[in-house]
Structure 1
């Protein structure tokens, strides 16, 4: 199994008495960001090495635990050994490390003890040789922790662990140049704030299906940093999305389906932004709400287009589309999805050009056919890979 060991012992450079690990970082604290990277890399247990407990640190520990990983706080190597699983491989994160998921996941895949090193000259980096400095990440066998636990307790845990790993012959992997700009050790509050929003926004998952991946996801990543910088509440983004959805429905009902569907697409984008803000901030109930709210907004817009078109043909086409779309979401687990498959946000996009051309029935039929073809592909994929 994989465990994480995060050091949180140093004070911030510009805030006396405040642990650097609890400084704000993109709507989170730095230690929560580090824990997310470890959990994404497969860590099922996280050990926090702390010098003292603070209210901010207690809150961060509680929020980390809600993500489904076991979290323990220790002060010494002896306590760490007692908490670690005896067969665990340990991903070590130095105090104040800012990095990317790609770096952490590539290190987690290493087959033996590995130190990530760099040739950068920074006072926060500890030297491990004449031409290399430790970049703050390592993958080590649990026995290295036990070796440190057997040493005098007044030794610095982090530095001693680094020396023990280096002397045991751990591989030294140099940080790739293209990953270096996103990696560093930082304990300055202002510098972390500048780096945090963009870095955390990059954690937002890239969906597979085309409409989410190539249209909505890039716009969400673009919008998140300024929203997090201004501390815009998640509820504000969701309220705006719902207001736009209501405006879209009213516009379609008043006989302007193309304009209404365009507004609906903007509402869906707002819903996606709200969902991402909720995910970043660990607002579980709001995440679950958006899981239903975004498809519901798309379904409502489609339904009103069908009602406002020639009846009963428009209503029939709308109902067929909604049934096929609902069945598709039930039959399309993430591991079976394909890039060109339909999704709830794709139907308004497919319909919009035909609505602009004044063909609501053709728009409904095209979206319904798209949903039906994707549903058939999903069923076949499920049959091939049960």
Structure 2
């Protein structure tokens, strides 16, 4: 069952009275965008953002979310909330400045009826709102339409978030307790400054998803994926956007064609390998920011340049045949159409480049092309035969 999410963007940050917690930079975007993407990933079908003042940063965040196809609306007063809040689905309320690991969003997203994410009272949980003598609210609460609209009718000078949390506690809402380790390691936190957000980002991104390369084959699985998981968080902390990294991979792939035209195959093939690695890092940055990596033509630009490079590095039609076969295997790999083939059975363009680079360095490039063709044929055969077995 889907639900709506209400995000708070009213409290000022500790850095400046003119900036909001929701506008703090986190994972390559504003914190409010990150919270919205977490809610959507957990199952929300729309986002409502409570604001006291519509700042340029909040307005731009809404535009970016809308551009990604996320339904989002701003709520400034009680009348707008009563009009826009859903009357037939639950609502997930997220605290202002709360950073909560995705598994906890998913846990609340799978609940039915009123439920609270709580933490035991301790020094680590001191920034969170106390709800009774032994526990504090950990930043997420799921409430039913009846509780939401019943509470809205009672609110005067409103602090919607805290009023709803107290109503949920008084109504006996289910409680999901956050382990103390999540608090100590920063996977659940309440931040009010950019310095705190940067520290928490290190913990959250270090335990993020493994990335789409975990499901790919060849060198993309065994080398590029692990490397991207190391490089990605470091680039994210320096606020390098995935778009710039993807453009850099395309530019480097185009540059690599020049030494190949000049009959310097080893240099050109090495640059193409690096371009594929940058494309993998760009995908990883999108994963960390909870965005879907490109699935259309943009995703194939750098690999296509690698295939062109393979054709330029060889002689005769054999190199073109190898590039075409690698292109077919690449599409099958990216579209998850490899049947029961294991990762080492899938001969990807990156794997082919790696083999050709090794052959070029020892002066045996023609032999490298022959071996690559045999590997590509064997890979295609394995995919076809294993798919038939299933």
Normalised-by-shorter TM-score class: 0.7 to 0.9
Query: 2:102 is matched with which residue?
Result: 101
- Report deviation, 1:32: 0.5
Q: Distance in 2 between matches of 1:243 and 1:268?
A: 11
CA shift digits 1:348-369 (9 cap, x unpaired):
2455555556222333313422
Q: Deviations over 1:106-165 (max 9, x none)?
A: 221224422111124344311122211110012222222112111032142111100111
Residues 142 and 216 (structure 1), Cα distance of their counterparts in 2 relative to 1, 3 Å cut:
farther
Counterpart of 1:369?
A: 377
Q: Secondary structure at the match of 1:126?
A: coil
Q: Does 1:223 align with 2:202?
A: no
Matched residues in 1 for 2:171 and 2:31: separation?
30
1:208-247 CA-to-partner distances (Å, cap 9, x unmatched) read: 1144344323322332344344444666544543454345
**Partner in structure 2 of residue 15 of structure 1:** 16
Quote the residue 1:209 is aligned against: 216
| Structure 2 counterpart of 1:129 | 132
Q: CA–CA distance in 1 between the matches of 2:290 and 2:131?
A: 37
Distance 1:40 1:282 in 2: 8
Q: What is the alpha-carbon distance in structure 2 between the residues aligned to residue 334 and residue 114 of structure 1?
A: 40
Offset, 1:5: 1.1
Tell me if the contact between 1:25 and 1:197 (Cα under 8 Å) persists in the aligned partners. no
8 Å CA contact retained: 1:351, 1:366: no
What CA distance in whole angstroms lies between the structure 1 residues aligned with 2:192 and 2:386? 48
Inter-partner Cα distance in structure 2 for 1:118 and 1:98:
14
* Residue from 238, 241, 246 that aligns with 2:249: 241
Segment drifting more, 9-18 vs 214-223: 214-223
Instruction: State how far apart, in whole Å, the 1-side matches of 2:329 and 2:296 are.
Output: 19
- 1:148–1:160: 8 Å Cα contact kept in structure 2? yes
Matched, 1:3 2:10: no
Decide whether aligned partners of structure 1 residues 47 and 238 sit closer, same or farther in structure 2, where only a CA change above 3 A counts: closer
Aligned positions of 1:1-386 closer than 5 A: 1-76=2-77, 79-119=80-120, 120-121=122-123, 122-180=125-183, 181=185, 182-196=187-201, 199=204, 202=208, 205-207=211-213, 208-210=215-217, 211-232=219-240, 237-238=245-246, 240-246=248-254, 248-252=256-260, 257-277=265-285, 290-307=298-315, 311-322=316-327, 324-325=328-329, 328=332, 332-333=335-336, 340=343, 341-349=346-354, 351-353=356-358, 358=364, 359-373=367-381, 375-376=383-384, 380=388
Shift of 1:102: 2.0
> Are the counterparts in 2 of residues 77 and 157 from structure 1 also a CA contact under 8 Å?
no
Quote the RMSD (CA, aligned, Å).
3.4
Alignment partners' CA distance in 2, 1:251 and 1:367? 26
Residues 1:17 and 1:370: Cα distance change in structure 2 (over 3 Å):
farther
* Greater shift in the superposed pair: 219-228 or 195-204: 195-204
Runs of 5+ unmatched residues, structure 1: none
TM-score of the pair, normalised by structure 2? 0.82
Distance of 2:352 and 2:145 partners within structure 1: 51
Which range moves more in the overlay, 171-180 or 205-214? 205-214
SS at match of 2:93: strand
CA distance in 1, matches of 2:337, 2:159: 45
Contact persistence 2:51–2:76 (CA under 8 A): yes
- Measured in 2, the distance between the counterparts of 1:275 and 1:174 equals 33
Distance 1:51 1:21 in 2: 12
Q: Structure 1 residues 100-109 or 195-204, which shifts more?
A: 195-204
Rounded Cα–Cα distance in structure 1 between residues aligned with 2:50 and 2:6? 7
Segments of 5+ residues of structure 2 without an aligned counterpart are: none
Q: Does the aligned pair in 2 maintain the 1:328–1:378 contact within 8 Å?
A: no
The CA distance in 2 between the partners of 1:335 and 1:139, in whole Å, is 40
The answer to whether the Cα contact below 8 Å between 1:80 and 1:145 also exists between their aligned partners in 2 is: no
Cα distance, 1:90 vs structure 2: 1.6
